[in-house]
């Protein structure tokens, strides 16, 4: 079973953030440019929230707000649910299922943000691990 730290090593080395006082329009543009569904929200160098496409659709569009005049901190999800880099993919999937979230920031015990994993990252890792197990079992049976 892989750890979150191992998953982050396989991803591009980038931490995608947005300032809490930036507009939602800026956040949506950044997500679209980076092809991601969520950004970590930073204020004074600290992780204070997460803003996702789901937040946008439920807290801006459905409430009749405008993207340009609404600030990220007005719609972000907080407090942030995080995970440490030594946790397993199974643990992360359980947290995401229980909390009904799709993105999980990875934070070191000392506090710095290391990255973020999505449910897609976790599903991909589980499928790869299962495929490896199947191949090993096939070699064992055939051997």
**Tokens of residue 5, six digits:** 């730290």
Q: Give the domain ranges of the chain.
A: 4-142
Instruction: Specify the higher pLDDT residue, 60 or 140.
Output: 60
139 falls in which pLDDT band (50, 70, 90)?
A: confident
Question: Per-residue pLDDT for 111 more than 80?
Answer: no
114 falls in which pLDDT band (50, 70, 90)?
A: very high
pLDDT computed for residue 92 by the predictor: 96
**Gap between the Cα atoms of 141 and 64, Å rounded:** 60
25 falls in which pLDDT band (50, 70, 90)?
A: very high
pLDDT computed for residue 140 by the predictor: 86
**Gap between the Cα atoms of 117 and 8, Å rounded:** 7
Residues 58-68 have a mean pLDDT of: 93
pLDDT computed for residue 93 by the predictor: 94
Q: What is 4-142's CATH topology?
A: CBS-domain (3.10.580)
pLDDT computed for residue 97 by the predictor: 96
Residues 53-71 have a mean pLDDT of: 94
95 falls in which pLDDT band (50, 70, 90)?
A: very high
**Gap between the Cα atoms of 50 and 103, Å rounded:** 9
In Å, how far from its chain's centre is CA 75?
17
Summary mean pLDDT of the chain: 93
Residues 18-30, buried b or exposed e (16+ Cβ, 10 A)?
bbbebbbbbbbeb
Percent of the chain with pLDDT over 70: 100
Question: Per-residue pLDDT for 142 more than 80?
Answer: yes
**Gap between the Cα atoms of 120 and 102, Å rounded:** 8
């Amino acid at each position: 079973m892989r750890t979150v730290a191992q998953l982050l090593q396989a991803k591009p080395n980038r931490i995608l953030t947005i300032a809490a006082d930036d507009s939602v329009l800026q956040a949506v543009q950044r997500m679209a440019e980076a092809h991601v569904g969520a950004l970590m929200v930073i204020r004074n160098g600290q992780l204070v929230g997460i803003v996702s496409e789901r937040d946008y659709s439920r807290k801006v569009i459905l409430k009749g707000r405008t993207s340009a005049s609404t600030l990220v901190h007005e719609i972000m999800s907080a407090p942030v649910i995080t995970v440490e880099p030594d946790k397993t993919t199974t643990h992360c999937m359980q947290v995401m299922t229980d909390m009904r979230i799709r993105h999980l920031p990875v934070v070191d015990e000392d506090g710095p943000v290391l990255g973020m994993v999505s449910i897609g990252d976790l599903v991909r890792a589980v499928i790869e691990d299962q495929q490896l197990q199947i191949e090993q079992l096939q070699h064992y049976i055939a051997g």
